[in-house]
Amino acid sequence: MAQLNITLNQDEILQLLSADRNEAFKTLLQESLNSILQAESSAQLGAERYERSLERSDSRNGSRNRELKTRIGTIDLCVPRHRNVPFKSLIFDNYSRSEAALVTTMAEMVVNGVSTRKVSTVMETLCGTSFSKSTVSEVCKELDASVIKFKNRPLSGEYPFMYVDATYFKVRGELHIEPRALMVALAYDEAGHREIVGFEVYENESKETWKLFLESLANRGLSGLNMITSDAHQGIIYAISKVFPDVPWQRCQTHFSRNILEHAPKKYQKAIHAQLQDMYNSETIEEARKIRDAIFEEYKDVADKALECLDLGFEDAMTVLTLPKSYRRFMRTSNHLERLNKELKRRSKVIGIFPNEASLLRIMGSVLVELNQVYVLEQKLNIGASDKAKLKSCKNKLIVIAKKQQQLLAA
């Protein structure tokens, strides 16, 4: 295996940090990335510098300089060249994708005349330079292509479980600033790995837009669904019944608790919340119903609106109990997607208002591509063979629940 050799000793590092810290971090990053490039080169060639090896597949052919724009400024990298097969590196693709998205989006804001002092300051902090209109156009084309390719890729294999949600961003319209909904679908594949299977920008969350979004997933090959988890947005519930009629809906228990507690008197909220948690952790639906009935009995005179909410949403919030036990904690809430949405919001704060929908799709799509690469490296779900077998036997029960949900929706 190729080794990384960063040629900075402790004294040099301390000397750098005692002077200009920004320059110090830039130097450290530059040395680190150059070392990674050399290690990648050695791995691809099958030999270190000047090493004689039977495993050598090619030879070095000098190097070329390339700039990489980062949050701490522009750094100069020494990119190796190979004589026969071109050198390839993951650094530029993995490290600069989201940076490029941020830079090009803000540059586009400047070009379109919607810049502010804050945007100019951030631009200077990010890369210390400006971009011409033609340069921004070319970079945007490359970035758009990678985002669209990921967004529209075919979905092969089966995805037993999926979460869907939307979060809103501000976009500059022709006359005024308007909200836009970014819908995202996160799913588990058969092997137990998380994957962002779809995203799209719409004017709002309605029955029709959610139906269009789920139809786009089905058209790309999404199949094998056992359950979809989300909050109680009526557009989502309607779309599931139309696009995936045999798939039951699991109401996110975190959102359900919030809905209940916002109608309960403050002095009872902690106690009710604790009892709701006991209900969610029930082994069977019968046990859950007993706890629900106990909550009704205890608070029927002081929290009638909260109990009405509990009664109406109970069955949908407990769909997950049909699954084998080891699956339940992953599907009872949409917290995975909530955390993803928070990360999207965090990334968008520096921009504030997107100049147009294309810009929103470009930068948030780039962030989603980046997050999906992280998910690929994550440890998969730890599900036993017996529970995997039990899941198959649950299919008919899940279809029955889906049909009941449709009947109640139509009533």
Q: Are residues 211 and 360 in the same domain?
A: yes
* pLDDT at residue 186 greater than cutoff 90: yes
Identify the residue with better confidence: 105 or 224.
Answer: 224
Between 99-113, 335-349, 358-372, the lowest mean confidence (pLDDT) is in 99-113
Which of 89, 104, 129 corresponds to the end of one domain? Answer: 89
pLDDT tens for each residue of 124-177: 554 455 554 555 556 566 678 888 999 999 999 899 999 999 999 999 887 889
Question: For 288, left (φ over 0), alpha (ψ -120 to 50), or beta?
Answer: alpha
* pLDDT at residue 112 greater than cutoff 50: no
Q: For strand 60-70 and strand 73-82, is the pairing parallel, antiparallel, or unpaired?
A: antiparallel
pLDDT tier for residue 116 given thresholds of 50, 70 and 90? very low
* pLDDT at residue 184 greater than cutoff 90: yes
Residue 237 is predicted with a pLDDT of 96
pLDDT tens for each residue of 376-400: 888 777 777 777 888 888 899 999 9
Q: Are residues 231 and 102 in the same domain?
A: no
Cα distance between residue 199 and residue 157, in whole Å: 19
* Mean pLDDT of the 97-106 span: 59
* pLDDT at residue 272 greater than cutoff 70: yes
DSSP state letters, 187-199:
EE-TTS-EEEEEE
Number of domains in the chain: 3
Q: Are residues 213 and 282 in the same domain?
A: yes
Question: Cβ(162)–Cβ(229) under 8 Å?
Answer: yes
Which of 89, 113, 139 corresponds to the end of one domain? Answer: 89
Which of 47, 68, 89 corresponds to the end of one domain? Answer: 89
Q: Is residue 4 part of a domain?
A: no
Q: Are residues 352 and 378 in the same domain?
A: yes
pLDDT tens for each residue of 195-209: 999 999 999 999 999
Residue 98 is predicted with a pLDDT of 59
Q: Is residue 56 part of a domain?
A: yes
Residue 46 is predicted with a pLDDT of 83
Q: Are residues 259 and 172 in the same domain?
A: yes
Q: Are residues 53 and 168 in the same domain?
A: no
Q: Is residue 270 part of a domain?
A: yes
Three-state DSSP at 86 gives coil
Q: Are residues 350 and 258 in the same domain?
A: yes
Q: Are residues 190 and 69 in the same domain?
A: no
The vertex-68 CA angle with 67 and 74, nearest 5°, equals 85
Question: Cβ(167)–Cβ(181) under 8 Å?
Answer: yes
Q: Spell out the alpha helix ranges (H) of 19-132.
A: 21-45, 91-111, 117-127
Residue 351 belongs to domain spanning: 161-410
Its pTM surpasses 0.95: no
